[in-house]
Amino acid sequence: MIGIIDYGAGNLHSVLKAIKQLGYETKLITKASDHTDEITKLILPGVGNAKVAMDVLDRSGLSDYLKERVSDGIPLLGICLGMQLLLEKSEEGNVDCLGFLKGSVPEFTDESEKIPHMGWNQVTDVQNHFLFENIPEETDFYFVHSYFAMPENREDILGETNYGINFASVIGNSQVMGVQFHPEKSGKYGIQLLDNYCKQGDK
């Protein structure tokens, strides 16, 4: 079962619909007591402001819930803002984030590119990660963001995209990972990426 963190993120229901269409059981997690032992993976969706999101996660106890579940070994996938929250700190509201991965989230400052970065752009798989299984190299995915992830450790960068600069568009490791783009809005290969995450370890 896939647990989806419900803290009011704008893309919550589109992510939920995509996972259900893939045939996986889902459960919305609005508080720690919603957890059941049947949940084998978690998804942290996200659209909006980092400080507002962290305030909601902290007040609801979901920050502690996520830290406990990750400590228990449950995989976690962050999407868009949900990916940025995996790092230690965001410049958006100067807020401390979940800190699963070392690094920060600065704002795009290259005046040669329109901000926010919105639309389709290529993602290059730099580590042959399982998220990219059955997805062609340099596939386009759909982005909407003004801030970007800057992991401290190069090994935490799984995919890169160019928008004035090269930035980390997929980050993480074998347990905690995030994608800056919206797979639920990225056609068949976005859905393939979600399937790759959901089925990993369940074969």
What CATH number does residue 81 fall under?
3.40.50.880
Residue type, 180: Q
Our answer to whether residue 198 is catalytic in this structure is: no
From 92, 97, 117, 184, the catalytic residue: 184
Tens of pLDDT along 127-143? 999 999 999 999 999 99
Residue located via tokens 């509201």: 93
H/E stretch holding 187 reads helix 187-199
pLDDT tier for residue 202 given thresholds of 50, 70 and 90? low
Q: Which domain holds residue 47?
A: 2-199
Per-residue model confidence (pLDDT) at position 14: 93
H/E stretch holding 117 reads strand 117-125
Mean local confidence (pLDDT), 61-65: 96
From 80, 92, 145, 198, the catalytic residue: 80
Mean pLDDT for all residues in the chain: 94
Mean local confidence (pLDDT), 122-126: 96
Mean local confidence (pLDDT), 121-127: 95
Number of domains making up the chain: 1
pLDDT tier for residue 73 given thresholds of 50, 70 and 90? very high
- Tell me the pTM: 0.95
Q: Could you tell me which of 201, 194, 203, 169 has the C-alpha nearest to residue 77?
A: 194
Mean local confidence (pLDDT), 27-52: 93
The answer to whether residue 203 scores a pLDDT higher than 50 is no
Per-residue model confidence (pLDDT) at position 112: 72
Label the pairing between strands 117-125 and 89-90: unpaired
Q: CB under 8 Å to 150, separation ≥6 — which residues?
A: 87, 103, 104, 105, 106, 167, 168
Mean local confidence (pLDDT), 102-112: 89
Our answer to whether residue 182 is catalytic in this structure is: yes
Our answer to whether residue 184 is catalytic in this structure is: yes
In the DSSP assignment, the letter for residue 5 is E
The answer to whether residue 186 scores a pLDDT higher than 70 is yes
33: left (phi over 0), alpha (psi -120 to 50) or beta: alpha
Mean local confidence (pLDDT), 22-26: 95
Label the pairing between strands 165-172 and 176-179: antiparallel
Residue 78: exposure state from Cβ atoms within 10 A (0-12, 13-18, ≥19):
buried
